[in-house]
Structure 1
Amino acid sequence: MDKNQYKWGVVIIACMAIFIIVLDSSAMNVAITTLIVELNTTLSTIQAIIALYALIIASLMLLGSKIQDILGRKKTFLIGLVIYAIGTITATLSVNAIMLMIGWAVLEGIGAALILPATTTLVGASYKGKDKVTAFGIWGGIAAMGAAIGPIIGGIFTTYLTWRLVFGSELVFIVIIFLFRNYLTESKPTLKWKDLDKLGALLSITSLILIVLGILLLTTPQNWSYVLLLIGSGSILFLIFLLSQRRRINKGLEPLSDIRLLKNRVFGLGNINSIIQQIPLAGFLFIIPVFLQQVTKADAFTTGLVLLPASITILIFSLLGARLSSVLGSKYILMIGFIVSALGSIILGGSFNLYTQAIDIVPGTIVFGVGIGFLLSQLTNLTMSAARSDQETDASGLFNAFKNLGYSVGTALIGVLLLLGIFGGLSTSIESSGIAANMSSEQIDSSLVAYVEKMQTTTLNIPPNMVPLANQIVDSTISSAMKHTFNILALILLLGFITSIFLPSKRKSVN
């Protein structure tokens, strides 16, 4: 079919690309136990890979946006797709955690950082007026759908076939995109490689990676001496990056990103609220499967089934929120979203105990999903509305970078809070239980920590008569840690409510 005969060809291609990128983030969380067993790795390692995937997208997003101006949006998109395909093949064939990390987190992350900003500009340049609104609505809806059905797809593949098909099936979409690539239009390059702010790219990438790695190291007390160094140096480098961007702008040089956008109250607060929203969402999607598969012994399919009501709720209320914005205004829908999702977190925190069944947490996940749906319905449009048409590329790069940074930090930080709560609780419980009568407390502590890290799939290195009590202690400790972690998530969401108060009631554009 001639590309001019079907006007929605571009948005369909963009939707397929965004679908496979979102699918990775949501589908693989339910496969944690299977990944640990088949790749002989640990919970902390899988957590690091999930966080690293979002981190690499975030750290390379600004560079990926700028490369479009050098190579053209179509070429940038297709190069990103090739890199993503190589990563998908590598992840599918993974024989250990390192290979999975290279394929999924590194190669797919690099590919996604080139694809995501290109899809935005391809859709934006291909449609006008109502068609443009419709196209972006379809694009956003498919992204939400990918996140919604990801857990159940991951659960079906992992339980009844193999988790490798999550990655392998993405190759089908990639092949289709290449077959219909002629629908895409190329943009004329406006920059040359010599115009690229290479120092800015290095500073932005390095600073974000150091910060998230510092958070991830919190899970291992022996590495705590490096945590402050990594987070501190990363923060300083990011400040230097911002100063370097301002200097280039003042000198009339091409910056990596137009950080003047951050001075606009709507754009700045919109990005802050996006980060705050992503942290609990990422944490929720990581720690719920950990609890279900360790304490209730749920398989991947059951885990995906438990998460499905929340996913559907998020999708429904993101669509409903978009309709309500014309009545209530974005600011007030955001405030409602933060309050409702905080309430959902509190309800979830109260539902965890030694006897919790999978069905018991569904009501809390639905309330949480209502709030998150409202937030997702507003944040992109609200934040991007602050940018002029000539700033859309920079605005999109910054927004998606901060959004993925929030997801990465959420996976790292909330996962760390849960694991620290578990490990700390184990030590306290061991001392009061008396099961260390024939072994040192340190020996049993070490054995139980390794047991949790392996998602309770190994044999405890303790006397057999102690195993039932040890299992009870582990499950009880995980339940207690979940309760405290969700209470912290509620506080983070309440912080989002406070920051959203400072948004203007009506949108303002950048001056």
Structure 2
Amino acid sequence: MSETAQVQPDPRRWKALAFIAIAQLMVVLDSTIVNIALPSAQADLGISDGNRQWVITGYALAFGGLLLFGGRIADLWGRKRAFTIGLIGFAGASALGGAAVNEAMLLGSRALQGAFGALLAPAALSLLAVMFTESRERAKAFGIYGAIAGGGGAVGLILGGFLTEYLDWRWTFFVNIPFAVVAATGAFLVIREPAGTRNGNSLDIPGVVLATLGLVSLVYGFTRAESDGWTASVTIGLFVAAVVLLATFALVESKVRSPLLPLRVVADRNRGGVYMSLGLAIIAMFGLFLFLTYYLQAIKGYSPVQTGFAFLPMIAGMVIGSTQIGARLMTRVPPRLLMAPGFLLAAVGMLILTQMAIDSSYVGLVLPAQILLGLGMGTAFMPAMSLATYGVQPRDAGVASAMVNTSQQVGGAIGIALLNTIAASAATAWATSHAAEAGTLGKIAFANQTAVHGYATAIWWAVGILILAAVIVITLVNTGHQGGDPITSSGEDGQEDVPIPVFAH
């Protein structure tokens, strides 16, 4: 390999990482920060109970539906440009949401946030993929990124609770503006995208339409399943439409010259294993955030701020697992030996939470469970984030990154719909079979006991889902540790790409 084939790493890449991390934190925390503020916003703007879900769903649909499109735009137009435009657009949408004077304005701002987030998130991850190619540096960079990706949702709960309780719900939107300004300024000044990493092909318009409509149908299908039931005609219709659209998308991608999602990206067994296991882990995690928030506030009487701070041990565990365990071992052991044990450790933490009761103590039950969950997820997320883009052709880094975010977004939608439905069904069944106890326990105590039984039942399912994620990792992820030296790769068009890492075996 010639000396001229090597691309020297940008000396400012660590400064760039700081600004990429700020942007990623903003996107991740925004998936939960508005949840706590929603009751206040609903009352202030007169949003009906039937429409309040669209404050969450509008963001999820735009974000999940446009991720592949956003990832490919980053590959085509440049990741730095996509990153900066995404930040500016997200800040503008946040300002619009904070200044909302009616329901339509708020819902529109959330959809715009999702659209610009779909451009920003894959651009951020793909920038890391092309800027950090040396194995040890890559481990550190993705350790930081993995900790943010895993713990950002819990940070959103803390920040959302604080802003809502002490300021105003509008600040859950306005708080994004300084994040975006700092990150965009830093991107303009210090981020330098390596030369030769763009994809110069044209945009696959049929693929964009099919992927967007298919993902929107899938995410919305799970949302409607939660509200209308799994057997409702609208729910079934959305799932059928999603299957048809995504199957057609796969067929189109195998035929066109410049596909939106090159099938080589997802056909690799290691990346496929990462996408599936990450999606399953997010199903379990989003369900946990939902039920633990309900448990702490409705059953234990915590305030929004207290609830947010109650999640701090999980965040600390994720940071330690990602930066001190995952990052240190990623260059020495195969990813499956970090990911599978990480998911299993998180499953043990979930298992502890299945024992929750009305009178359970935070220190005796919730605290140890959160520590184990955080350590396990942090250890697993970090190598998973890296492996999802490791060895991919640089010109495909954006769309490979988008697949990571897509698996997380779809996993989150499934987690909320599936586990909430399971909890509701279990609660109803328990209340029916224990109706005679209602008079003995009292109305409030009986309602609380019913709810806790539902939460515990759903968390049992989350335990099984995390075990399944570990099994998928053990079965599909078979690569060696990520400690190899960069090599050059030739693209399909015969042009030499910049160096990319290979796995050591």
Interval containing the TM-score (normalised by the shorter chain): 0.7 to 0.9
| Normalised TM-score (structure 2) | 0.82
The 1:191/1:329 distance shift into structure 2, 3 A limit, reads closer
Q: 1:73 to 1:386 in 2, by over 3 A?
A: closer
**Which residue of 442, 446, 461 maps to 1:473?**
446
2:120 matches 1:115: yes
| Aligned counterparts, 1:80-479, within 5 A | 80-94=86-100, 99-104=105-110, 106-125=111-130, 129=134, 135-143=141-149, 146-147=152-153, 149-180=155-186, 181-185=188-192, 191=200, 195-221=202-228, 224-248=232-256, 253-319=257-323, 320-351=325-356, 353-359=357-363, 360-423=365-428, 425=430, 432=436, 469-479=442-452
Q: Deviation digits for residues 165-201 of structure 1, max 9, x if unmatched?
A: 2321211122234444243447787547xx3222211
**Aligned partner letter, 2:217:** L
Q: Which moved more, 1:15-24 or 1:266-275?
A: 15-24
Change (3 A) 1:39 1:410: farther
- What is the TM-score of this pair, normalised by structure 1? 0.81
The answer (yes or no) to whether the contact 2:163–2:171 under 8 Å persists in 1 is yes
Q: What CA distance in whole angstroms lies between the structure 2 residues aligned with 1:367 and 1:9?
A: 31
Cα distance in 2, alignment partners of residues 434 and 286 from structure 1: 26
Hey, what does 1:57 align to over in structure 2?
Answer: 63
1:280 touches 1:492 (CA, 8 Å); kept in 2? Answer: yes
The answer to which structure has the higher helix fraction is: 1
| Per-residue Cα deviation, 1:394-446 (whole angstroms, up to 9, x for no partner) | 322222222222223223322333344445555666x64688xxxxxxxxxxx
Aligned twin of 1:439: none
Taking the aligned partners of 1:312 and 1:29, their CA distance within structure 2 comes to 22
8 Å CA contact 1:148, 1:315 repeated in 2: no
1:29–1:289 CA contact under 8 A, matched in 2: no
What amino acid sits opposite 1:62 in the alignment? Answer: L
Amino acid at match of 2:90: Y
Secondary structure of 2:260's counterpart equals coil
Looking at structure 2, the residues matched to 5 and 373 of structure 1 have their Cα atoms a distance apart, in angstroms, of 28
Q: Bigger shift: 171-180 or 47-56?
A: 47-56
- State the AA in 2 paired with 1:340: L
Deviations 1:333-367 (A, max 9, x none): 2221222111211210111x233454442222222
1:312 CA drift (Å):
1.1
2:458 is matched with which residue? 485
Does the C-alpha gap of structure 1 residues 434 and 133 become closer, same or farther in structure 2, counting only changes over 3 Å? Answer: closer
1:210–1:230 CA contact under 8 A, matched in 2: yes
1:343–1:161 CA distance, 2 compared to 1 (3 A):
same
CA distance in 1, matches of 2:322, 2:281: 13
Once residues 392 and 76 of structure 2 are traced to their aligned partners in structure 1, the CA distance between those partners, rounded to angstroms, is: 22
SS at structure 2 position matched to 1:384: coil
Q: Distance in 2 between matches of 1:238 and 1:124?
A: 27
Answer whether contact 2:221 2:238 (CA < 8 A) is retained: yes
User: CA contact under 8 A between 2:350 and 2:369: conserved in structure 1?
Assistant: yes
What's the CA shift string for 1:71-104, capped at 9, x where partnerless?
A: 3333322332232122211322345665444323
Cα RMSD for the two superposed structures:
3.3
Deviations along 1:99-141, one digit per CA (max 9) or x if unpaired, are: 444323x111111111122223444555664666655555445
Counterpart AA for 2:204: D
Give the unaligned 5+ runs of structure 1: 436-465
Contact 1:51 1:408 in 2 (8 A): no
Aligned residues between the structures? 467
Give the direction of change, closer, same or farther, for the CA distance of 1:7–1:323 in structure 2 (3 Å limit). closer
Return the letter of the residue paired with 1:285: F
One-letter code of the match for 2:222? Answer: I
Q: Percent identity, aligned pairs only?
A: 25
C-alpha separation between the residues in 2 aligned to 1:418 and 1:97?
A: 30
Give the direction of change, closer, same or farther, for the CA distance of 1:207–1:134 in structure 2 (3 Å limit): same
Distance (whole Å) between structure 1 residues aligned to residue 191 and residue 310 of structure 2: 39
Shift of 1:227: 1.7
Name the SS for the 1:157 alignment partner.
Answer: helix
Q: Which amino acid aligns with 1:88?
A: S
Contact 1:50 1:408 in 2 (8 A): no
**Does the 8 Å CA contact 1:212/1:231 hold for their aligned counterparts?**
no
Task: Give the CA deviation at 1:278.
Answer: 1.1
Separation in 2, partners of 1:58, 1:506: 29
Hey, what's the Cα distance between the residues in 2 that align with 1:349 and 1:471?
A: 21
Letter paired with 2:216: I
Gaps of 5+ in 2: 1-9, 482-501
SS class of match (2:27): helix
